[in-house]
Amino acid sequence: MIEPSDRFWVVGEQVKGNVHTGQVIDWDQRRWYTIEGPVSLILPDENVDIDVLKCYVGQLGQTVQSITVDDKGLLVKVSSDPEDDRTLTTHYPRFATAPSLQNCLAVQLSQLTEEDRLGPSVDLVSYVDDSGTSKFAVFKYYMIYQTRHWIWNELHLTKALPRHPNILPFDRVVLSDAEPCILGFTTPYIPNGTIEQNKDRVFKLAWLQQLLDVVDYLNFDLGIAHQDIAPRNILVDPKTDNLLLFDFDRAARIGQPSCFPERNDVSGVIFTLYEIVSQDGHFRRVEHREQDSDVESWPLKCQLDCEVGNFRKLLDEWVRRRKCQDDAPRKHVDFTPDLPDVPPASPIITGNDDSGEPVWGDGLIQHRKDALK
């Protein structure tokens, strides 16, 4: 089940006079709602829209598009008018226009059975593979334009990564049914939750060593920075007892503009071990550039398979070695993943000019009510 704190997200806000209007996505229902009310109640940039929606979302029917509240937060209007639908659709590239993916295994959306919602745009699904075996997988997709490039790049990088015992592998491309379009991709499902979710698990020194090794492998052998190493992005395979790193949506080739120094993987590892040991995640709630990895006190709040000093010693030795390696000239790497641009959207008619001639647009983003006309 999706975490309650992750269920809602404010897409946009507008203030006109004394009226505040906000658009909120309910990731659990995969629906957009418009929330309208006085500015005295719904202050901009305070996520009050979410608080209002939480009060009423369980009472709203499937066709509701917008709600209006008064200055006390009481419901005064509910609309199911399709014209009030502010849902934005985005472009899903046609599979035929993506030569980079033609050799990948694929599964159609209709073949997936939704089992659970794990997070925003992340579902636990099941399907029957070509051998007739039912299997669980994690389906990662996008609903909004802002995350389209993340999913596209993560799909390509994940499928290109060499098999490694500490990296969660690629599974299949997920396609729509009518005209095959690329919706996202799947990876194998690993039970028992992430390191962040399963805090009762005894964390092993061997897993820390595996994390250090796989980060070195990514950085030096492949020239890839993960840029989001955290307990929430680490699993443990119960079959092999191996740590598995996943979630490469922020990953980038080292030295490229999308590789940010403040997101370096060494700091990511330091904060990850600190969070595991102390159960203190407050550093993740500030900007990366404001995070201070020189934390002296590590209160022990978790179960370890040996003394915490052994973990600190292993980490400190690795950090010292990495400083020397990172300061040295970087060696050439042969790994060159194919990361093509997203295929362009087909042009669509967005309206008419003064003479009545059609006006064409790129079709990347449309209001759903217009796309259905």
Q: What mean pLDDT comes out for the span 290-315?
A: 85
Q: Same domain, yes or no, for 183 and 111? A: yes
Choose the final residue of a domain: 288, 311, 327.
327
Q: In the prediction, which pLDDT does 90 show? A: 87
Q: How far apart are CA 242 and CA 273, in angstroms?
A: 16
In a domain, 104, yes or no: yes
Q: Same domain, yes or no, for 149 and 237? A: no
The mean predicted confidence, pLDDT, of the chain is: 92
Q: Same domain, yes or no, for 313 and 252? A: yes
Q: Same domain, yes or no, for 157 and 223? A: no
Q: Same domain, yes or no, for 132 and 168? A: yes
**Which CATH number goes with the domain that contains 114?**
3.30.200.20
326: pLDDT confidence band, cut at 50, 70 and 90?
A: confident
Query: 265-269, 337-341, 358-362 — which is least confidently predicted?
Result: 358-362
Q: What is the tens place of the pLDDT at every residue in 199-240?
A: 999 999 999 999 999 999 999 999 999 999 999 999 999 999
CB atoms within 10 A of CB 235: 23
Q: What mean pLDDT comes out for the span 238-248?
A: 98
In a domain, 61, yes or no: yes
Choose the final residue of a domain: 307, 327, 347.
327
Under 8 Å between Cβ of 277 and 298? yes
Q: What mean pLDDT comes out for the span 35-46?
A: 94
Residue 31 dihedral angles phi and psi, to the nearest 5°: -130, 155
Q: Same domain, yes or no, for 237 and 268? A: yes
Beta bridge partners of 304: 203
Q: What is the DSSP string of 238-257?
A: TTTTEEEE---TT-EETTST
Q: What is the tens place of the pLDDT at every residue in 163-176?
A: 999 999 999 999 99
Q: Which residues contact 211 (CB under 8 A, 6 or more apart)?
A: 166, 229, 234, 243, 245, 269, 272
How many domains does the structure of the chain reveal?
3
Burial classification of residue 149, based on how many CB atoms lie within 10 Å of its CB (0-12 exposed, 13-18 middle, 19 or more buried)? middle
User: Which among 99-103, 146-150, 284-288, 344-348 has the top mean pLDDT?
Assistant: 99-103
Q: Same domain, yes or no, for 70 and 168? A: no
Q: How far apart are CA 190 and CA 194, in angstroms?
A: 9
- Where are the alpha helices (H) located in 110-204, listed in sequence order? 148-160
In a domain, 338, yes or no: no
Instruction: State which amino acid sits at residue 184.
Output: G
Q: What is the tens place of the pLDDT at every residue in 128-141?
A: 999 999 999 999 99
Range of the domain at 236: 205-327
285: pLDDT confidence band, cut at 50, 70 and 90?
A: low
Choose the final residue of a domain: 56, 86, 116.
86
Q: Same domain, yes or no, for 232 and 250? A: yes
Q: What is the DSSP string of 50-75?
A: HHHHHHHGGG--TT--EEEE-TTS-E
